[in-house]
Chains A and B, each alone.
Chain A
């Protein structure tokens, strides 16, 4: 069986996989990182989004063997060691950007990549278009967009805290 060596959330792992093993299966079933979800399993919904070398990808449509040597970040890798949430996670909580929460890990991972790709600031339109690969069936997206805008301001150093009182 093929062997895969990769770094997940800063930790090196080596695992035996089948050729057909998906990255999301390796993460969830072998490494027990179940924060990454499988929604549609057809590369449309985005619940399985993780970062490979800093870029958002759908881990249900990536073979584990193809991530050999890669640096993978999942939702579990965002918070600081002391439990302090990433600005994007904090913003999703503050702006009530989730209801059932199923799409949230993928939304947060896509949102961080999106904000990182717009270092000079991001418009509401760019946020809405940038979420085209993530489906949410509860929120109507409105609060997700607000949360990402607020987190972007913090990530870009335009404001220091997520709290809505800061608006």
Chain B
């Protein structure tokens, strides 16, 4: 790992000022950035540690939504009583990210900002139709995830919280790589009134919505509705862990499991 300067601002405004320099990078839990720096995939001149910013912490109920501060660690979302009562699928998802030690350090802000195709959080954000709060604006999930490791965030813009609407039903299922525990293919489903969302992670270069499944489940919220639908392997990821065809097949299987979990 190359060396870097280290800053620990106490406010979002100060952090944004430091991040205006394009050679700086933000860090919170560090469980994605530090491995990347060890591989010398990146060479920032300075790291801006966000972990001292109080306004980015905490979980709160706000109207018909749960708002999770960007610095909230996965273990906190997984074990929070309010999250478990309002959106149990979100607590389940957070409790199955990586491993215990990853969950003790990794944060929602880091995971969502990084938009790793094999990360869990983007599926929940897109699958629940959440709203991303940044230091500048609010961005709908549908407009946030732009491509592999790419989001709508600008260089000097920080994710400060994610607002998850409380839905009628939601469920998440994934097939994880047994060694790395990253997602091979995962599906997050939700239903709010007549609106159904099906978000797929792990399978493609970026989390995406499965429109055929959404349409079928909106008409008939049951596994039977998914019976005739097949995910196309076109454009899906293919690597030593699995072919695009295998991942496409997994999408169908995970969708049924997610639906069963949602009830």
B3 on interface, CB distance cutoff 8 Å: yes
Chain B residues within an 8 Å CB radius of A44 = 179-180
Tell me the complex Cα distance, A19–B37, Å: 12
Nearest CB of A to B103, in Å? 9
Among residues of A, the one whose C-beta sits closest to the C-beta of B39 is A42
Nearest B residue to A132 via CB reads B99
Q: Nearest residue in A to B79 (C-beta to C-beta)?
A: A117
Does B35 lie within 8 Å of A132, measured CB to CB? no
Interface residue? B31 (CB, 8 A)? yes
Bound Cα distance A56, B102 (Å): 9
For this complex, into which size category does the number of interface residues on chain B fall?
20 to 34
Q: Is A66 part of the binding interface, using a Cβ–Cβ cutoff of 8 Å? A: yes
Residue contact B30 to A18, C-beta cutoff 8 Å: no
Query: Which A119-165 residues have a C-beta within 8 angstroms of B?
Result: 130, 132-133
Known pairs A58-B105, A61-B105, A66-B30. 7 more at Cβ < 8 A?
A43-B101, A44-B180, A56-B101, A62-B34, A63-B47, A130-B100, A133-B101
Interface residue tally on A, bucketed by range? 20 to 34
B35, B49, B100: the one within 8 Å of A61 (CB): B35
Chain B CB within 10 A, most for which of A44, A49, A61: A61
Closest residue of A by beta carbon distance from B31:
A61
Subset of 27 A-B contacts with CB under 8 Å? A2-B6, A19-B4, A19-B47, A20-B1, A20-B3, A42-B38, A43-B34, A49-B101, A56-B104, A58-B101, A58-B102, A58-B105, A61-B31, A61-B34, A62-B30, A63-B30, A63-B34, A63-B47, A65-B49, A66-B27, A66-B30, A66-B49, A66-B51, A132-B181, A133-B99, A133-B101, A133-B102
